[in-house]
Structure 1
């Protein structure tokens, strides 16, 4: 059967009504749980909720699990962190059948190199080719993704002809302010990343309509809940690193409501999905100490190798004072919390100065 929120109990209600009309106390047979297959990538697997189950993540706090629990669905959780459209076709569609009632999916971000784009844009501006990476992703989006979506959606329709198939997109991650001292997103870069999300959403909506499926839009619900918002539904830079830039537990409750309005009425609001310290650094975990947070941020910046010979040449060419840069990076190896915080703040200031000179 085709499953929609308004028709879940239709057959049970009809049997009850017939029994009343006949004046008989007929037992109502419970309907078999509707078969729900959750396809897709890390946004469907619940990455960001700090509850990894297996190599694909598949969190019990991911929105597919919340939907199944709230509406009594029989969940076949196929979504896998890191999946591209080809992975879904190869590894996940075998779960579909003519008996499948309901299908949800988020997909496409990894085809476009989501993680590598975010990583590039998080670098200081004098090292980053953020706009170049975004442009590469957009070129692929418009040249290849329509065909990839069409092939995937056609196969879903063929394998699950009776299913209600709902395609989701991705929220804006940024609100224009980078509150994490271990990342260096400029305002222009954040606008460009959100703009790329909009272009991807347009392609998803077009191909979903062409396939005859339903589409849902995550962007309105996540407005006011981006990284550095309060409350944020998306983790900023977090540890373990895979939790970064994905919806936390509250964000997955929001996603569940997007796919099936009213689901949040039965889902408890999370108090552990994310945390923001006094400097605004997103940790994703309320029990992480201040010292651990700052140490992790310092290590993340050290991993950028800002004072390697090649990177120093790039900094010098961009007008960055390399003596000050070298001094601040050396301070990141300190064991003193205040020194680490001052060094991180100093590096953020160097990046802001560079962005101002570059007109970003």
Structure 2
């Protein structure tokens, strides 16, 4: 999700150790042809160490797809996830590597379709009432238009990669309620933002299941590590601006990577 304008408007585990902890070995997936699709949560925005060749997509060497590929040595690895990507962007710009030989696909997508960056900007800058109304609009979008958009992108992925195991990952809740934060958004806003994350995850999980894809819920992994928690795996408003509300490198390696690894076996 792209948050570059938010503040302007307002004012790893080592790979070998990770594989050991997860109980996997490189041999588990040898021969896999893997394609990593999606938005900034798959690109690794917020984790740092962005590949210069990825330009504005800001693909990180610490993103869970890169960590998994380094630990499991697939026969091929196409990393096309991109900061700010909607489901339409995935279809138009990311599916070139998919083929009948693709055996594994990962994707996070959906939040940018609903303009979640705009939601967070509104909530940072505006009153509780305005924030909650904007979140309600996003939830209506999740329950309505987003479902058909997810159906479309999932159908295209299946058509292009008919033999692939497709793993769809969700989004974490952003905030630990009644946590350590002493400034920033109100608890009412934080609670509503969390509720929106629950709503989009529920929609994504249902659509993924209907297409025969595997959904992995990262909310439990992030639960002790949300913003306002003692050791957050998510950035709050930060510099660089685009990292705001994205997983840290530890969020990628300890939150997303184990969930993907479990599903990719």
Does the TM-score normalized on the shorter chain lie above 0.5?
yes
Task: Quote the residue 2:90 is aligned against.
Answer: 88
Indicate which of 125, 147, 161 corresponds to 1:123.
125
Q: Which runs of 5+ in 1 are unaligned?
A: 12-30, 264-360
TM-score normalised by structure 2 residue count:
0.83
In structure 2, relative to structure 1, the CA distance for the partners of 1:7 and 1:82 (3 Å cut) is same
Q: Rg: which structure is higher? A: 1
Task: Quote the residue 1:103 is aligned against.
Answer: 105
- Report Cα offsets for 1:276-307 as digits up to 9, x if no partner: xxxxxxxxxxxxxxxxxxxxxxxxxxxxxxxx
Give the number of the structure with larger relative contact order, counting CA–CA contacts within 8 Å between residues 6 or more apart: 2
- Report Cα offsets for 1:161-193 as digits up to 9, x if no partner: 111100000000101247374xx3110111111
TM-score normalised by structure 1 residue count:
0.62
In structure 2, relative to structure 1, the CA distance for the partners of 1:162 and 1:262 (3 Å cut) is closer
SS of equivalent to 1:129:
helix
The offset of 1:9, in angstroms, is: 4.3
Where has structure 1 moved over 3 Å in runs of 4 or more? Answer: 5-11
- Report Cα offsets for 1:323-355 as digits up to 9, x if no partner: xxxxxxxxxxxxxxxxxxxxxxxxxxxxxxxxx
Task: Quote the residue 2:11 is aligned against.
Answer: none
Q: Which runs of 5+ in 2 are unaligned?
A: 1-22
Answer yes or no: is the 8 Å Cα contact 2:167–2:213 preserved in 1. Answer: yes
Cα distance in 2 for residues equivalent to 1:225 and 1:41: 21
Answer yes or no: is the 8 Å Cα contact 1:123–1:185 preserved in 2. Answer: no
The offset of 1:71, in angstroms, is: 1.0
Task: Quote the residue 1:71 is aligned against.
Answer: 72
Cα distance in 2 for residues equivalent to 1:42 and 1:227: 18
Range 137-146 or range 38-47, more displaced: 137-146
Q: How well do the aligned residues superpose, as a CA RMSD in angstroms?
A: 2.3
Cα distance in 1 for residues equivalent to 2:78 and 2:165: 15
Answer yes or no: is the 8 Å Cα contact 2:27–2:72 preserved in 1. Answer: no
Task: Quote the residue 1:39 is aligned against.
Answer: 37
Q: Superposition pairs for residues 1-360 of structure 1, below 5 Å?
A: 9=27, 33-53=31-51, 54-73=55-74, 74-123=76-125, 125=127, 129-176=130-177, 177=179, 179=181, 181=183, 184-253=184-253, 254-261=255-262
Size of the aligned set, in residue pairs, is 236
